């Protein structure tokens, strides 16, 4: 189920939609790949995040039913992108990031897109890359390059301030993940640029 959850997460992250579209309309992007294998989940695919850091602050949300107070998505709103699947008493998979709603600059009308603003790597060992489209495969290295860039910036500052040792297991894991991506791109002929 990890594959279907990942594909739904990517579909939401890459979506382009009209200004004021409700999160309910985006929810089906997150669920589509689970629906294809006759599965679903009982929670929403995302929720608003407020300026007071309230975790489930509206009016924006992304659920399977329309929220009464959802006035539609607008630029500079923040919300989560978190499709998942849970098999009761067995396991669960959820991929969650925080996204910012932004304007699509070159659109003829008022269209919006999502920009991921939380930077957590996707576990590479759980992904069957042969089951992803070339566009989906290209998405993962782009996400990981942002993770590595942000982490290296933070690590430099922390080291400068003496807040962390010069080597960390997290940094090594990110470097290993980055090397895996290079190998995957070369072996499977998926190239970023």
pLDDT in tens, 57-72: 767 778 787 777 778 8
| Token pair of 171 as six digits | 């940094």
- What pLDDT sits at residue 180? 47
Where exactly does CATH 3.90.230.10 map onto the chain?
2-116
The listed CATH number (3.30.420.40, 3.90.230.10, 3.40.190.10, 4.10.1240.10) that belongs to domain 2-116: 3.90.230.10
Over residues 94-105, the mean pLDDT reads 92
- 0.85 exceeded by pTM: no
Which DSSP string corresponds to 81-146?
E--EEEETTTEEEE--EEEEEEE-TT-SS-EEEEEE-S-----GGG--GGGS-HHHHHHHHHHHHH
pLDDT of residue 15: 94
In this structure, the number of other CB atoms found within 10 A of the CB of residue 25 comes to: 16
Locate 30 and state its tokens.
Answer: 């997150």
Compute the average pLDDT of residues 118-135: 84
User: Which are the contacts of 115, defined by CB distance < 8 A and separation ≥ 6?
Assistant: 99, 100, 102
pLDDT class of 55 with cuts at 50, 70, 90: low
Tens digit of pLDDT for each residue in 78-90? Answer: 989 999 999 989 9
Residue with token string 């933070």: 154
Look at residue 103 in the predicted model and tell me its pLDDT.
95
Please, how many CA atoms are within 13 Å of residue 31, restricted to the half-sphere of its CB? 20
Interatomic CA distance for residues 123 and 188, integer angstroms: 19
What are 89's two structure tokens? 């008493």
Q: Which residues of 109-128 are buried (b: 16+ CB within 10 A; e: fewer)?
A: eeebbbebeebebbeeeebe
């Amino acid at each position: 189920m990890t594959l279907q959850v990942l594909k739904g997460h990517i579909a939401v992250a890459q979506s382009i939609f009209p200004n004021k579209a409700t999160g309910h309309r985006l929810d089906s992007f997150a669920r589509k790949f689970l629906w294809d294998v006759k599965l679903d989940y009982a929670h929403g695919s995302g929720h608003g995040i407020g300026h007071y850091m309230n975790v489930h602050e509206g009016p924006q949300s992304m659920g399977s039913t329309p929220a009464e107070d959802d006035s539609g998505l607008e630029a500079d709103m923040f919300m989560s992108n978190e499709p998942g699947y849970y098999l009761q008493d067995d396991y669960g998979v959820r991929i969650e990031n925080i996204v910012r709603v932004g304007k699509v600059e070159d659109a003829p009308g008022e269209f919006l897109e999502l920009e991921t603003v939380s930077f957590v790597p996707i576990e590479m060992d759980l992904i069957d890359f042969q089951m992803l489209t070339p566009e989906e495969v290209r998405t993962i290295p782009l996400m990981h390059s942002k993770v590595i860039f942000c982490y290296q910036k933070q690590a430099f500052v922390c080291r400068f301030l003496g807040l962390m040792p010069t080597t960390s297991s997290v940094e090594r894991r990110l470097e290993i993940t980055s090397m895996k991506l290079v190998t995957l791109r070369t072996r499977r002929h998926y190239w970023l640029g």
